[in-house]
Chains A and B, each alone.
Chain A
Amino acid sequence: QKEVEQDPGPLSVPEGAIVSLNCTYSNSAFQYFMWYRQYSRKGPELLMYTYSSGNKEDGRFTAQVDKSSKYISLFIRDSQPSDSATYLCAMRVTSGTYKYIFGTGTRLKVLA
């Protein structure tokens, strides 16, 4: 079993829809949680970063962490065709190492 699981998609939604992307994990020591967006043939770019539990909002993006369920989510409101990309979750433990564990990524297509 992988430490971080992510549905690969593809996920297709109409423009303007609310998108929910999710990751589950097995290591309860993870404390830092991140979401990256990756366009085709480009490097990943950081979208959101959350420490421990709770919500964080940035414009149309909201990241949620539920440590009791070992589940993190990224919500995209009013989705746009420009949001079409692969979204990767990543996480790491608090101390002793600075290794990040990534999900496999979910491919999102927003249809105009």
Chain B
Amino acid sequence: DAGITQSPRHKVTETGTPVTLRCHQTENHRYMYWYRQDPGHGLRLIHYSYGVKDTDKGEVSDGYSVSRSKTEDFLLTLESATSSQTSVYFCAISETGANTDTQYFGPGTRLTVL
């Protein structure tokens, strides 16, 4: 298994509170991603990073911010959590090259916003 960990694995919080999810990799991969997965929507990209301090928005970025100060860590912050942000959040890493295009996923964080 690719060395990806996510913390926390489960979190229950209240509307309006800030929440930070952490993704940590030991593979030294350049690209890191945050997705959310909801029934009927599949995996949707929130933000991704293509290097330290280099990030870009995905299709559902409103209400989320990210930071990457080190290659191995990618943080996702919900500035003021809302019930619509209740979801399962997956971090992924990838390394592309001439003959490969693979993305590895972490175990997920189950977030409930009450």
When A98-B48, A99-B58 are in contact, do A46 and B43 touch as well, CB less than 8 Å? no
Docked pose: A58 CA to B71 CA in angstroms: 32
Nearest CB in chain A: distance from B80 CB, A? 26
**Interface assignment of A49: CB less than 8 Å from any CB of chain B:** yes
Residues of B contacting A: mostly: strand
Query: Can you spell out 21 A-B residue pairs with CB atoms less than 8 angstroms apart?
Result: A32-B101, A34-B102, A36-B105, A42-B107, A43-B105, A43-B108, A44-B43, A44-B90, A45-B104, A46-B104, A88-B42, A90-B43, A97-B56, A98-B31, A98-B96, A99-B48, A99-B56, A102-B35, A102-B42, A104-B41, A105-B42
**Bound Cα distance from A8 to B41, whole angstroms:** 10
Hey, what's the 0/1 contact readout for A31-47 against B, CB within 8 Å counting as 1? 01010100001111110
Q: Shortest beta-carbon distance, B8 to chain A, in Å?
A: 15
CA A32 – CA B90 in complex, angstroms? 21
The reply to whether A45 and B105 contact each other, CB–CB distance below 8 Å, is yes
Tell me which of A8, A42, A99 has the highest count of chain B C-beta atoms within 10 A of its own C-beta: A99
B81-114 interface bits toward A, Cβ cutoff 8 Å, 1 = contact, 0 = none: 0000000001000101000111111111000000
- Chain A's interface size range is 20 to 34
Whole-angstrom distance between the Cβ of A33 and the nearest chain B Cβ? 9
Contacts of A34 in B (CB 8 A): 101-103
- Given A98-B94, A99-B48, also A49-B100 (CB < 8 A): yes
A92-B101, A98-B31 known; A43-B48 Cβ under 8 A = no
Find out whether the CB atom of A88 lies under 8 angstroms from the CB atom of B43.
Answer: yes
A6: min CB distance to chain B, Å: 8
Q: Looking across the interface, which residue of chain A has its beta carbon closest to that of B98? A: A51
Nearest neighbor of A92 in chain B, beta-carbon distance: B101
Q: Is the CB of A102 within 8 A of B101?
A: no
Within 8 A of B (CB), among A43-63: 43-46, 49, 51
